[in-house]
Amino acid sequence: MISEKVQNVLNSQINKEFYSAYLYLAMSAFFDEIGLYGFANWTKVQAKEEIDHGMILFDYIIERDGKVNLEKIDSPDRNFENPLQVFEKILEHEKFVTESINCVATMSEDECDLATRHFINWYISEQVEEEANARDVITKLKMFGDEKASLYHLDKELGNREYKTHSY
């Protein structure tokens, strides 16, 4: 059994993960509209991973005999201008998710729930990777400036990302 406080932050985290999937899908649609199909692929794969993140939390709450509460998912931001601006939004969003995951870790410690504290470590590592991935693309985009040939090659590179079920 988990405490109500831990259950609440885990349910709130499910909502943030599914919102993340919505946000990445909106970004994917934007990239598709402007013909950057590799960027569209990368963000669509990320959306699928976010759904996995939400489902792992969903299964964990049930495994701990808790109650899943599926909150309303907000409509995602659609004010996208160019690849650099989108990836800066991604980094900003992932930093927000990292803070939220850190709060789950802190709450589980406050509630002496060591199982949840251990469980959430996977997400802490995942957030380090997600922030690094966004920063990597931002660095390349800033380096290329308006150089179309480099953008074309980066689009090809991001097009190679394949979805693999993200499991705990």
Q: Which residues bind ligand FEO (CB under 6 A)?
A: 17, 20, 50, 53, 94, 97, 130
* Interatomic CA distance for residues 95 and 35, integer angstroms: 28
65 dihedral zone (left: phi>0; alpha: psi -120 to 50; beta) = left
When CB distances to ligand FEO are compared, the closest residue is 53
Minimum distance of ligand FEO from residue 106's CB (angstroms) = 18
Minimum distance of ligand FEO from residue 93's CB (angstroms) = 7
Shortest CA distance to 71 belongs to which of 17, 120, 122, 2? 17
**Which CB atom, from 26 or from 97, has the smaller least distance to ligand FEO?**
97
Minimum distance of ligand FEO from residue 42's CB (angstroms) = 13
**Which CB atom, from 15 or from 20, has the smaller least distance to ligand FEO?**
20
Minimum distance of ligand FEO from residue 47's CB (angstroms) = 10
Shortest CA distance to 31 belongs to which of 51, 18, 16, 46? 46
Shortest CA distance to 11 belongs to which of 92, 107, 75, 125? 107
